[in-house]
Each structure stands twice: as structure tokens, then as C-alpha cells.
Amino acid sequence: RDQIHFKECFSLYDKQQRGKIKATDLLTVMRCLGASPTPGEVRRHLQTHGIDRNGELDFSTFLTIMHMQIKQEDPKKEILLAMLMADKEKKGYIMASELRSRLMQLGEKLTPKEVEDLFKEADIEPNGKVKYDEFIQKITIPVRDY
């Protein structure tokens, strides 16, 4: 359900297939991927990267911007995004060891203990493979407060 097709969405707006989208399409592409930035937030993202309204941005800049946006909106999605960025070959999984190091480098850095807890919660073998969809389902099930 949350297998986000960043590249596909980006490509829809990359009309000349040059690996770039127009700054003016950024809001639309971000919303197409389930983020909900305000026009002001989009302007700030572009300013941060020194891109003016008539400019363009490449896919890696776009990923960075999405990453920032999602971090503001939803820490769980940020984890998914870290996994997607780590999975260069688009295999649908990454190694637990790589996920661990990514989680500890995220904007909201997780401590080794938090990573261990997350892995326990999602039944991840320390040296195993982590499939996104299963992982995300496990960590996004609302936690009950007793």
C-alpha cells in the first residue's frame, strides 16, 4: 500500500526524460507521492537548494527534498524513504546491517538501542534481509496504550 513509486512519479513530470523536473512541478510531484507540503514549504525547499522558480531539479535533489518533507510529516515514512534510497537495485529489500546504519544516520537519528527495539518489534534478524512492505506493515500498526 505504501510502496511509493518515486521514480515513476518523477518521470511523469520529466517530460524530456532528462532526469529533471521543473521547480513549478515540485508541489504536484510531492503530492503525487503522498506528501502534503504547503506552497510555502515548497518555496523553502527550493531556496534551500538554490533553485529559483524557473529552475529545475534532478532526482537526487528531489529525493533530498522529499526526505526533508516526510521527516516533518511522518517519521515512519522517513524510514521507508531511507530504505528506498538504500535499495539502489530496486530489489524490494535491503540487508538489516544496511538498514541499521541508515536508521542511525537519519535526520532523527535513532540510538543503537532504538534500532534494536525496532528490529525486535519487526522480527528482523540482525544479519537478515528486510523486505519493505512487511517491515512497514509491522512498524505502522498503531501501538496500543494499555
The band of 1, judged by pLDDT with boundaries at 50, 70 and 90, is: very low
In this structure, the answer to whether residues 13 and 60 fall within a common structural domain is: yes
pLDDT over 60 at 40, yes or no: yes
In this structure, the answer to whether residues 101 and 53 fall within a common structural domain is: no
State which residues form the domain around 41: 1-71
The band of 140, judged by pLDDT with boundaries at 50, 70 and 90, is: low
How much is the pLDDT for 18?
A: 93
Q: Is residue 145 part of a domain?
A: no
| Mean pLDDT, rounded, of the chain | 80
In this structure, the answer to whether residues 57 and 85 fall within a common structural domain is: no
In this structure, the answer to whether residues 61 and 4 fall within a common structural domain is: yes
In this structure, the answer to whether residues 67 and 113 fall within a common structural domain is: no
In this structure, the answer to whether residues 1 and 48 fall within a common structural domain is: yes
In this structure, the answer to whether residues 23 and 44 fall within a common structural domain is: yes
Contact 6, 35 (CB under 8 A): no
Total of domains in the chain: 2
The residue that leads in pLDDT, 54 or 133, is 54
In this structure, the answer to whether residues 1 and 34 fall within a common structural domain is: yes
CATH code of the domain containing 113: 1.10.238.10
Please report the beta strands in 1-146, taking only residues with DSSP state E, as ranges in sequence order.
20-22, 56-58, 93-95, 129-131
pTM greater than 0.75: no
In this structure, the answer to whether residues 51 and 80 fall within a common structural domain is: no
pLDDT over 80 at 146, yes or no: no
pLDDT in tens, 117-132: 878 877 777 778 888 7
How much is the pLDDT for 23?
A: 96
pLDDT over 90 at 46, yes or no: yes
Amino acid at 55: G
Highest mean pLDDT range out of 32-36, 53-57, 77-81, 84-88?
53-57
